[in-house]
Structure 1
Amino acid sequence: MQKTDEYIASRLTWKAKQYSLPTEYSFYFENLTQKKKDHYYEYIMDQNIGIPTLLFIQPNSTKWTIIGTRKIVWGENGQSESLLFSNIKEIKPHSLDSKEKFEKAVNGSLPKMEWNELTLTEI
């Protein structure tokens, strides 16, 4: 069964709600003002990401990440990069304060909401 972009967007939104999103620095793309959407569309319109669903921004920074239904796109200072979900081999927490927190995160006991940066490993 081929899953549509609309189906994947609804699943991303459903999962985000389980993690109490949106937050101060995370947003549902559809709920952004048109001005904000247009700003990010400049970076993603040529990326073929599917339906942009979630936006994450970094406090006190110009860094942002958008999760679409086909790709994840991130950028800052007018530059962006993307990665197809099918090319992601592994996702791990990154930049945790201590080895203990890293081990807790990998073993599943540190809530994902406390992961403030991820490392994506490509196939």
Structure 2
Amino acid sequence: MTLLNKTDEYIYKRLIWKAGQYNLPSDFSFFYNNLPLKMREYLSGQIITSPNEIPVLFFTKPSQEWTLLSTRQLFGYNNSHVYSILLEDIAHLTSKKFADENAKFTSGLKKSDWHELIITCKDGQILLFHARKGSDLFALWNILLMAVRFYR
């Protein structure tokens, strides 16, 4: 199936399916359609989507940063501004904690403490995306890996 055959509805269903494999939603991750109306209205005012694009998963953490995955983009908020990247423009994903340790695993590097993803864009720009530490971050990471493959 080529990207031309992968409609937003198809990608939406695949993302929901993949989220189920990671026991989402959780206390800090939500299906966009299940968010309270007030929160969806807030998010709609913060993001710009294309006509057929569907917001799918919302991740947050106690410090109030958030990430929203749609069928075409990834949106982030770092407590000061909202930013986004098209899924097709993602070149590389890694954990901020992993990158901070110079990509070397040490005994002090616990995966359960990871709560930020570093996304490197094809143009070299680096963006930071947030989720609650541990399983929510790894769910986001793995779901995002699948989503990016749709555009390669």
TM tier, shorter chain?
0.7 to 0.9
Q: Deviations over 1:24-60 (max 9, x none)?
A: 110000111111111111101x24391000000121x
Partner of 1:53, secondary structure, is strand
Mapped to 2, the partners of 1:16 and 1:116 lie a distance apart of: 17
Q: Pick closer, same or farther for the CA change 1:114–1:20 going to 2, 3 Å.
A: farther
Counterpart of 1:91 in structure 2 is 93
For the 8 Å contact 1:90–1:120, the answer to whether it is kept is yes
Counterpart of 1:30 in structure 2 is 33
Q: Deviations over 1:67-118 (max 9, x none)?
A: 000000011446211000110011112225964269x99xxxx6xx874211
Q: What letter corresponds to residue 82 of structure 1 in structure 2? A: S
Q: Pick closer, same or farther for the CA change 1:35–1:87 going to 2, 3 Å.
A: same
Counterpart of 2:121 in structure 1 is 122
TM-score normalized with structure 1 length: 0.79
Q: Pick closer, same or farther for the CA change 1:30–1:72 going to 2, 3 Å.
A: same
Query: Structure 2: which 5+ runs fail to align?
Result: 123-152
- How far the C-alpha of 1:62 sits from its partner, in A, is 2.6
After TM superposition, list the pairs within 5 Å mapping 1:1-123 onto structure 2.
1=2, 2=4, 3-44=6-47, 46-48=48-50, 50-59=53-62, 61-77=63-79, 79-95=81-97, 99-100=104-105, 115-123=114-122
Query: Structure 1: which 5+ runs fail to align?
Result: none
Moved over 2 A (4+): 46-49, 76-79, 96-102
Mapped to 2, the partners of 1:26 and 1:76 lie a distance apart of: 16
Partner of 1:62, secondary structure, is coil
Which has the higher relative contact order, 1 or 2, with Cα contacts under 8 A spaced 6 or more apart?
A: 2
Mapped to 1, the partners of 2:89 and 2:30 lie a distance apart of: 25
Mapped to 1, the partners of 2:16 and 2:105 lie a distance apart of: 31
